[in-house]
Structure 1
Amino acid sequence: MNRDLQISLFDLVISLSNAMDLISPEMVNHHKRVAYASLKIAQQMNLSAEEINDVVLASTVHDVGALSYNQRINARQYEFSNASEHAELGFLLLSNFSQMRGLAEQVRFHHLPWSNGNGKVYDGQNVPIGAHIIHLADRIEILINREDEILGQVDRIVKVINNGKDKVYHPDIVEAFLQLKDKEYFWLDLTSPMIGDILAKSTDISLIQLEIDDLLEFTKLFSQIIDFRSSMTATHSSGVAYTGEALASYIGFSERECKMMRIAGYLHDLGKLAIPDEILEKPDKLDEQEINIMRSHTYHTHRILEVIPGLEQITEWASFHHEKLNGSGYPFKYTATDITLGSRIMAVADVFTAIAEERPYRCGLEREVVLNILHKMVDDNALDKLVVSILEDNYEEINRIRIDAQAEAYRSYKNFGNRLVNDKMNAD
């Protein structure tokens, strides 16, 4: 076990970007493209290294508040309504994470027009230059037709951006862009399938490392982005995270390993960002096609996280929670010999939370029913007998931990919605 766990903030942000872009082929690499354009414009404007790093990080997650499929696709239109809504949602989410709090304002105002200088201030608050850089970079990326060769599109894109100078876009930022427009590499990099590698080599953000307590805080943000998409599952990841941590503690995992288990719980449904809203929100039984789509989420969780150096153990625990000891699980069809104790704990934590928690369309199941279901899965060689017995022996305490964690998560969810409503009312 790595006792000096350190994970690159940039790698985590890129993984979140990749997860958000899974929602549609139209979104693939959108955040990384915007980050690259923002980087080059910021460099052209001779911003400081710290300012450049900030604008790159903010642009990599600029649409983090677009929680639904429709919100994300709507944001792909050059001109669209309610642009400030997802920006405000993103601001509220990022404000809860200390490492990103300073960048939240850039996300909040990344659709604010320059309006001949009026966009310098909003409601008495200075708007950071990074927000206006992201605004322009985002619209440049939106204007690119992914079906056509890029260099033949430059004149059209430049014309549209120039027409928005002063009225929509900060004139100094437009000028910086115009100094880049004739450099073929800028456009070829921007549309390259290797944009992630290009971006990583163009910045020193990867030097920023998160230790385990920072990682706990950041992955809690991930869980909110995952869960807040739907009232059906608004607190699920928190329940799984704390249940998994409690089980790990009872089984004898170290304090650091227990924290890693909570992180895995926060991340276990990351791949659900690729699942359409109508499937996540469906209270009725899923049909065969919908089940197949839903089953892909653990695959996406694994592929998104496996590329992050240092996160290997957590990735395994997070990704294999639907594998079964008898080999009938998914997506890898692993058997008992392949599934570690940590992954077995996460599997039990997920099933337990799913059947014991309250959902908008049903009450949580009672202790006897929950245990009957878990014992049946043990008899079928789906779940680990030891882990289930630990849960049964400590049911009241573990269930209380789950309930408390989900109650706190629900308060955050409600507060999140209330703050958004209040901000909209104040804006009106």
Structure 2
Amino acid sequence: MNRVQGARLFSLPVDLRQVVYALSASLDLVGIGDVAHGKRVGIMAAECSRFLGMSEAERRLLFELGVLHDIGVSSTITHHHLVSEFDWESSQRHCEVGYQLLKDFRLLAPLALPIRYHHTHWYLLRDMVAVDRKVARQANLIFLVDRCDALAAPYYADGSLLMHTAEIRERLAACSGEFFAPELVDAFLKASRSEAFWLQLEARAINDYMLDMLQKREPCITNNGELKVLARIFSGIVDAKSPFTMTHSLGVSRLSRALAEQMGVSAMHCDMLEIAGLLHDLGKLRVPDEILDKPASLTQEERAVINTHSFETYQILRHIDGFEEIACWAAYHHEEPDGEGYPFHLPASAMALEARILRVADIFQAMVQDRPYRRGLSAHDALTFMQQLADQGRVDPVVVAVLEDHLPQMMMAAIPDHEQDHSLIWRIGWPLTHVATSQLCLEQAAHGAGTGAQESA
């Protein structure tokens, strides 16, 4: 019996800024070996603001702008171009994606326009009458310190950054007027004279800076509706990483909620499970594109890389106050009742019902969803496979039984409407790097691609 359908009586009190800061870690995962690009850009922007006469509120905004400036990037190949090429010809694409993602979300909308223009050269930006002067300065400052981080990137790993600061400063100063506003270059040169400016970019100092900035901001308690919108923004970024997974997280979220409602789960936990479904694959942002899009069977080493993604999800979400259960449910979607899942190898007794529901939803949605290389399975065929997994002790048979009892309804929940639910991602398209892989996608099935539990990795 469905006891809670349509209920929206509960609220999950969460500080939105804490959520944003924690989820920014997922964006940094795209760098794979370099997982702090956004944070460093935010730190440098905030430090430069001290020499521009900006208020403390604008300083905080610039920090958050830096942290989220690459919200339109999910491809590891795109990230590589952005940090290895000073003026990549295709850089504007991710700026537009980022703008579209944030422009209608009330609490982050002030970041949208600066993100849209954060790779626009100053000689063009200064003459755009439609762009407010304040927005132009914010965007251009992010562009400046973003390029600073790209120039500094080769020196972080070996600790030699201080030996190269003079050449970095000279390179950026030479771009004054064309790439960057002269007043912003002057502020950067003043801020970057000190060794402390550069030492704050080391890993051991970044987290302290993040905590300091978080503590200075007044809490911004959000409601469940706003939290879901933010979760959907991030799920769209994850799903856009590969043409294999477009709208997967949204389908898992909807199906998880539908199953939970039929099983009498409380309204609040249904809301929380919906969010967990949206965010369950955050850790995939750290998986290289070439592994996710590989048109052949994975090697043992490649499978090991993919198997880290649910732990990465856990590491990101567990730091949000109020997300303790959401973090577990999201991270346990590859755990199996027989203890043979990953990455925690938990027995059934350690998995909450919500986690077991999300696991079933993840596998079923992956099987029925159309992928570029094959049509989705029918509801009946997917259910048969789920029943086989239940017989093998790999999924909860009780959840599978509910899936069977309400199969038409669950099928509708599992397959989102592209136009309504992820229109942005479909309208803008996949990252440029995926265009060349479309033909390879069609060959995936013939090369031993897995289905069901394996395919939903």
The one of 229, 239, 246 equivalent to 2:258 is 246
Gaps of 5+ in 2: 1-8, 433-457
Greater shift in the superposed pair: 179-188 or 296-305: 179-188
* Aligned equivalents of 1:20, 1:181: Cα separation in 2: 26
The one of 380, 393, 410 equivalent to 1:368 is 380
The one of 119, 126, 144 equivalent to 1:120 is 126
Q: TM-score by structure 2 length? A: 0.85
Which amino acid in the other structure matches residue 195 of structure 2? E
* Aligned equivalents of 1:345, 1:8: Cα separation in 2: 27
Percent of pairs with identical residues: 32
- 1:151 aligns with 162
Work out whether 1:194 is the aligned partner of 2:205: yes
- 2:115 aligns with 107
Which amino acid in the other structure matches residue 51 of structure 1? E
Q: Deviation at 1:206?
A: 6.2
Paired residues for 1:281-360 under 5 Å: 281-360=293-372
Q: Deviation at 1:109?
A: 0.8
Deviations 1:313-339 (A, max 9, x none): 111111101100001100111011111
Q: Deviation at 1:244?
A: 0.3
Secondary structure, counterpart of 1:265 in structure 2: helix
- 1:168 aligns with 179
Secondary structure, counterpart of 1:308 in structure 2: coil
Gaps of 5+ in 1: 421-428
The one of 55, 64, 69 equivalent to 1:57 is 64
* Aligned equivalents of 2:411, 2:294: Cα separation in 1: 26
Q: Deviation at 1:266?
A: 0.4
Deviations 1:360-419 (A, max 9, x none): 22122123221211111111111112111111111111212223456633544322339x
Greater shift in the superposed pair: 40-49 or 246-255: 40-49
Q: Is the 8 A contact 2:263 2:402 kept in 1?
A: yes
Which amino acid in the other structure matches residue 109 of structure 2? R
Work out whether 1:8 is the aligned partner of 2:15: yes
Aligned length: 416
Q: Is the 8 A contact 1:8 1:206 kept in 2?
A: no
* Aligned equivalents of 1:285, 1:297: Cα separation in 2: 18
Q: Deviation at 1:35?
A: 0.3
Greater shift in the superposed pair: 345-354 or 7-16: 7-16
- 2:192 aligns with 181
Which amino acid in the other structure matches residue 227 of structure 1? D
Q: Deviation at 1:31?
A: 0.5
* Aligned equivalents of 1:197, 1:148: Cα separation in 2: 19
Deviations 1:123-178 (A, max 9, x none): 74336121011111112222222124333333222212221222221111122222
Q: Is the 8 A contact 1:323 1:332 kept in 2?
A: yes
* Aligned equivalents of 1:396, 1:407: Cα separation in 2: 21
Q: Deviation at 1:49?
A: 3.2
- 1:27 aligns with 34
- 1:259 aligns with 271
Q: Is the 8 A contact 1:318 1:343 kept in 2?
A: yes
State the superposition RMSD in angstroms.
Answer: 2.2
Q: Deviation at 1:224?
A: 0.4
Greater shift in the superposed pair: 343-352 or 166-175: 166-175
* Aligned equivalents of 1:408, 1:386: Cα separation in 2: 32
- 2:138 aligns with 130
Q: Is the 8 A contact 1:248 1:258 kept in 2?
A: yes
Q: Is the 8 A contact 1:238 1:406 kept in 2?
A: no
Q: Deviation at 1:210?
A: 2.5
- 2:105 aligns with 97
* Aligned equivalents of 2:307, 2:337: Cα separation in 1: 17
* Aligned equivalents of 2:14, 2:300: Cα separation in 1: 38
Q: Deviation at 1:284?
A: 3.9
Which amino acid in the other structure matches residue 224 of structure 1? G
* Aligned equivalents of 1:282, 1:182: Cα separation in 2: 46
Secondary structure, counterpart of 1:193 in structure 2: helix
